[in-house]
């Protein structure tokens, strides 16, 4: 609406409008009429009437207090009435798909002038399309759903399905065969772990941790057991509808009593006398996506040990939302199974061979978490560099304080080391069979995840110190910092706690110590 009536003004003309009933300001060469908005201004009237603000160029004051996105909200866009003669806006709106120019806000391989041995032209083209997709289709939904706590909108899942993003999120493999990936940009047999890394890292740029898990994190860990261990009949029924984003699946292993002690699970599955069905009883806790899941990949205690069984939502299956540190959009739930009858054909892998089914996917799950952790840390650097450059305190930008620079130095060093290590491991994955990965990479991936999440927590703590009170405020300038600090521990717990994974890495290393090694 404003675009049709925009006029040009001089700074002198704007200066005439400096009273409560006739109040204009200039922000980045754009003129805003605040006369009717002033009483609704969340920051109050007095600040707008300050002699350095009313009728003046208030760009610096504005960006010291507001995120640019404020000006993009429809209700505020209407305040924009014109521009300043001879001046141009330099603080442009974020363009969908664009690479950030902020130093270290992008990994080296995306930074102009730098090189990388890992990414091909195909990866580069792929990244561009994924970024645009995330910016255009997902970003706004992520902000809205994290706030209202509902699961991601179906239209987002549908759009993801159109380009086969749900299938690609499971990594390379047979499930991609016959699918057109990203409109044909990459052939199924060429899709590799770097493509998957790109998807994971681009998705988390939405900056909403709950939404990130809601983006079918449950499928990423719950569907592989079906793909790798389910019968052909079961796969034919379940896989197409899940990869089409029409049905949802989750992994249901951890329990209130047993925690992640897989061998201590208490949910039972007993065969009926005719041997045709399992009857499942028990409960599961902290199950991501469970509130909206149609299928549950469940770890059960059977007479022969641990068995994994696919349970379809139906009589006897109940899910109850658990409130965690992030929004309910991830659909984290407490799940109960009361005399749930399941056909034996839903058994995944061998009866009693459940531990193998569960362990087979751990490396991939942890590696996915490393991808997302590395990228989240980078987004925090982006926030901190922008904030400390635009925010003035004691007459100088925050970045001119050595203590601030020291904290940012730590953030950059940690993030770069995590990404470099991640790319090295990803490169190994692209050259190893799944079996080789299991043998050789469980330790390194365990180390990387443990290291990455420690780095992430240090970075979250530093970012809060840099943002001060805004770093603990859910709206405004520090909203991503507050969110990050509140949710950063998720990665350090899910898929194996920090200490456990570091210990796994050392134990794996010791296992391959040469017998004759001596000092
Ligand atoms: C187009 C003009 C403006 C709009 C649409 C606007 C809108 C807002 C909004 C939505 C907030 C809530 C915080 C947030 O969500 O970021 C806010 C807070 C605030 N605004 Fe403005 N504002 C405008 C101009 C200004 C100007 C020129 C000043 C002068 C310095 C100012 C001073 C403040 C202050 C002090 C706060 C409180 C900040 C805080 O809680 O940290 N605003 N404004």
pTM for the predicted model, two decimal places: 0.94
Q: Are residues 255 and 295 in the same domain?
A: yes
Residue by residue, what is the 3-state secondary structure of 178-201?
Answer: CCCEHHHCECCCCCCHHHHHHHHH
pLDDT surpasses 70 at 431: yes
Secondary element (H or E) of residue 442: helix 434-467
Q: Is residue 228 part of a domain?
A: no
Q: Are residues 157 and 135 in the same domain?
A: yes
ipTM of predicted complex: 0.96
- Kindly give the distance from the C-alpha atom of residue 32 to the centroid of ligand 1, in angstroms, as a whole number: 13
Residue 249, classified by CB atoms within 10 Å of its CB into exposed (0-12), middle (13-18) or buried (19+), is buried
Q: Where are the alpha helices (DSSP H) in 41-192?
A: 46-49, 59-63, 69-72, 74-77, 121-133, 139-148, 154-162, 165-168
Q: Are residues 207 and 347 in the same domain?
A: no
pLDDT of residue 2: 44
Q: Is residue 239 part of a domain?
A: no
Q: Are residues 115 and 206 in the same domain?
A: yes
Helix (H, G, I), strand (E, B) or coil at 336: strand
Looking at every residue in the chain, the average pLDDT score rounds to 95
pLDDT of residue 4: 55
**Residue 41 sits in a domain of what CATH number?**
3.10.120.10
Q: Is residue 92 part of a domain?
A: no
pLDDT grade for 91, boundaries at 50, 70 and 90 = confident
pLDDT tens per residue across span 133-165: 999 999 999 999 999 999 999 999 999 999 999
Q: Of 304, 337, 358, which residue is a domain's last?
A: 358
Q: How far is CA 68 from the centre of its chain?
A: 22
pLDDT of residue 6: 86
pLDDT of residue 260: 66
Q: How many domains does the chain have?
A: 4
Ligand 1: residues with CB < 6 A are: 25, 32, 34, 41-43, 47-48, 53, 58, 61-62, 65-67, 70, 76, 79, 475-476
Quick one: what percent of the chain has pLDDT higher than 70?
98
pLDDT of residue 276: 98
Residue to substitute in 14, 32, 51, 65 for testing ligand 1 pocket (most ligand atoms within 8 angstroms of CB): 65
Q: Are residues 366 and 297 in the same domain?
A: no
pLDDT grade for 261, boundaries at 50, 70 and 90 = confident
- Kindly give the distance from the C-alpha atom of residue 469 to the centroid of ligand 1, in angstroms, as a whole number: 16
Domain that holds residue 319: 247-358
Q: Are residues 328 and 396 in the same domain?
A: no
- Kindly give the distance from the C-alpha atom of residue 267 to the centroid of ligand 1, in angstroms, as a whole number: 53
- Mean pLDDT confidence for 434-452: 95
Q: Are residues 254 and 386 in the same domain?
A: no
């Amino acid at each position: 609406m404003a675009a049709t009536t925009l006029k040009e003004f001089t700074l002198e003309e704007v200066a005439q409008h400096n009273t409560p009933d006739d109040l204009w300001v200039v922000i980045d060469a754009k003129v805003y009429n605040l006369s009717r908005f002033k009483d609704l201004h969340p920051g109050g009237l007095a600040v707008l009437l300050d002699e350095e603000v009313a009728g003046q160029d208030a760009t610096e004051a504005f960006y010291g207090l507001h995120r640019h996105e404020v000006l993009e909200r429809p209700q505020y866009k209407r305040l924009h009435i014109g521009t300043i003669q001879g001046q141009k806006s330099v603080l442009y709106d974020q363009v969908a798909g664009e690479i950030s120019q902020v130093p270290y806000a992008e990994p080296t391989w995306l930074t102009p002038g730098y090189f990388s041995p890992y990414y091909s032209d195909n990866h580069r083209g792929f990244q561009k399309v994924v970024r645009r997709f995330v910016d255009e289709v997902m970003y706004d939904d992520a902000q809205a759903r994290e706030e209202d706590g509902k699961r991601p909108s179906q239209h987002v899942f549908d759009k993801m399905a159109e380009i086969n993003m749900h299938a690609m999120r499971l990594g390379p493999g047979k499930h991609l065969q016959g699918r057109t990936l990203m409109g044909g940009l990459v052939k199924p047999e060429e899709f590799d772990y770097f493509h998957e890394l790109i998807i994971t890292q681009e998705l988390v740029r939405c900056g909403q941790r709950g939404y990130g898990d809601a983006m079918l994190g449950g499928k990423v860990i719950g569907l592989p057991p079906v793909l790798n261990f389910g019968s052909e009949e079961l796969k034919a029924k379940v896989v197409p509808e899940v990869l089409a984003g029409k049905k949802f699946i989750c992994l249901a292993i951890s329990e209130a009593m047993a925690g992640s002690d897989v061998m201590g699970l208490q949910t039972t599955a007993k065969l009926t006398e005719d041997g045709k069905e399992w009857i499942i009883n028990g409960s599961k806790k902290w199950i991501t996506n469970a509130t909206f899941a149609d299928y549950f990949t469940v770890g059960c205690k059977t007479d022969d040990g641990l068995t994994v069984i696919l349970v379809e939502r139906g009589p006897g299956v109940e899910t109850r939302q658990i409130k965690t540190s992030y929004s309910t959009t991830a659909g984290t739930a407490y799940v109960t199974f009361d005399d749930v009858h399941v056909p034996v054909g839903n058994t995944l892998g061998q009866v009693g061979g459940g531990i193998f089914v569960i362990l087979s996917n751990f490396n991939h799950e942890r590696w996915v978490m490393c991808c997302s952790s590395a990228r989240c840390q980078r987004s925090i650097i982006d926030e901190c560099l922008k904030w400390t450059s635009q925010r003035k305190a004691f007459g100088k930008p925050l970045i001119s304080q050595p203590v601030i620079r020291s904290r940012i130095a730590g953030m950059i060093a940690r993030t770069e080391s995590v990404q470099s290590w991640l790319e090295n491991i990803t490169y190994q994955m692209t050259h190893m069979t799944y079996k080789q990965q299991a043998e050789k990479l469980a330790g390194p991936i365990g180390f990387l995840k443990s290291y990455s999440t420690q780095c992430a927590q240090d970075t979250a703590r530093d970012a809060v110190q840099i943002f001060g009170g805004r770093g603990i405020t859910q709206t405004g300038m520090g909203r991503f910092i507050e969110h990050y600090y509140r949710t950063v521990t998720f990665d350090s717990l899910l898929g194996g706690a920090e200490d456990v994974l570091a210990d796994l890495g050392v134990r794996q290393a010791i296992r391959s110590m040469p017998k004759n090694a001596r000092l």
